[in-house]
């Protein structure tokens, strides 16, 4: 394990892939690797492909992280409790894909109870909006009664979805979005959903910890060709039919 107590500084003029080896990340705080650079699309795409992501507060320099271990969810291994299964069957909500990316990221950036400020800064929002416009970043949305009530966003590269943040405007909404994503990506043979840092909430949904070296090895294979994924459903997907619809997705 790394014993580094200093992090690398990246210049905005450095090549996009000019990150130190992730094995040099600090132990405390866990995964802090570098600072500086910029949030250009080429640099962000290079970072994710290497197992690195940006995370910083307003007024701080850009900070780059690669924690060890890494929190991941294997598509198809989302844990559905009996209570959630009942809610899924009864729900009249719909899942939509990429219909209001800007609103989803803005809702994810809203302050939450007990939280001061947000790491989803204006600079971050602009950067991911560019990635969305270029077909890399995506939103999975939960709609009910014509209103957006939950969702998540992240990047799809090769066979990995790099999750960034999610929100719930009503009970279980973000769970519906993550479950739909998990089932749909399983049908399309994705290797992982990257959840970055473990939380109790994610653990209850089936997320697990993966050693950073193993995570990086998967990325080398699954993102060897860093292709965009564009095979998202064009029509709304009823929450009550996630299993039935996503089970046939691989046949299309």
Q: Tell me: the pLDDT tens digits for 66-75?
A: 999 999 999 9
Please tell me the number of Cα atoms within 13 Å of 248 on its side-chain side. Answer: 6
Whether 127 contacts 16, CB under 8 Å: no
Whether 77 contacts 207, CB under 8 Å: no
The CATH fold assigned to 8-67 is Alpha-Beta Plaits (3.30.70)
Instruction: Write down the pTM of the prediction.
Output: 0.94
Give me the pLDDT at residue 251, please. 37
What ranges do the domains of the chain cover?
8-67, 71-251
Give me the pLDDT at residue 117, please. 45
Cα–Cα distance for residue pair 198/196, rounded to 1 Å: 7
CATH number for the domain running over 71-251: 3.40.630.70
The residue written with tokens 């003029």 in the block is: 13
Cα–Cα distance for residue pair 161/229, rounded to 1 Å: 9
Give me the pLDDT at residue 125, please. 97
Whether 12 contacts 33, CB under 8 Å: no
Tokens of 225: 């060709």
Q: List Cα–Cα distances, 67 to 16, 72, 119, 214, in angstroms.
A: 20, 12, 17, 12
Give me the pLDDT at residue 3, please. 52
Give me the pLDDT at residue 2, please. 46
Residues in the chain predicted with pLDDT less than 50, given as ranges, are: 1-2, 115-117, 249-252
Give me the pLDDT at residue 248, please. 52
Q: List Cα–Cα distances, 4 to 14, 39, 50, 164, in angstroms.
A: 22, 25, 19, 26
């Amino acid at each position: 394990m790394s014993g580094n107590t200093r992090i690398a500084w990246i210049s905005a003029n450095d090549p996009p892939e000019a990150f130190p080896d992730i094995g040099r990340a600090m132990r405390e705080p866990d995964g802090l690797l570098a600072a500086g650079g910029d949030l250009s699309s080429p640099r962000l795409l290079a970072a994710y492909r290497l197992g690195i992501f940006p995370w910083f507060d307003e007024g701080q320099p850009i900070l780059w992280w690669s924690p060890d271990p890494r929190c991941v969810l294997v598509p198809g291994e989302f844990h559905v409790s009996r209570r959630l299964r009942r809610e899924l069957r009864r729900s009249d909500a719909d899942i939509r894909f990429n219909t209001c990316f800007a609103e989803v990221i803005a809702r994810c950036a809203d302050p939450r109870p007990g939280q001061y400020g947000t790491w989803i800064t204006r600079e971050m929002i602009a950067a991911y909006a560019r990635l969305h416009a270029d077909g890399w970043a995506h939103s999975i949305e939960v709609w009910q009664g014509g209103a957006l009530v939950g969702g998540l966003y992240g990047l799809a590269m090769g066979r990995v979805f790099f999750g960034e943040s999610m929100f719930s405007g009503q009970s279980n909404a973000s769970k519906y979005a993550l479950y739909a994503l998990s089932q749909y990506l399983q049908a399309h043979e994705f290797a992982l959903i990257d959840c970055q840092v473990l939380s109790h909430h994610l653990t209850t949904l089936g997320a697990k910890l993966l050693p950073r070296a193993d995570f990086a090895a998967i990325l080398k294979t699954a993102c060897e060709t860093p292709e965009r994924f564009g095979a998202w459903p064009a029509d709304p997907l009823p929450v009550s039919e996630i299993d039935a619809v996503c089970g046939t997705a691989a046949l299309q």
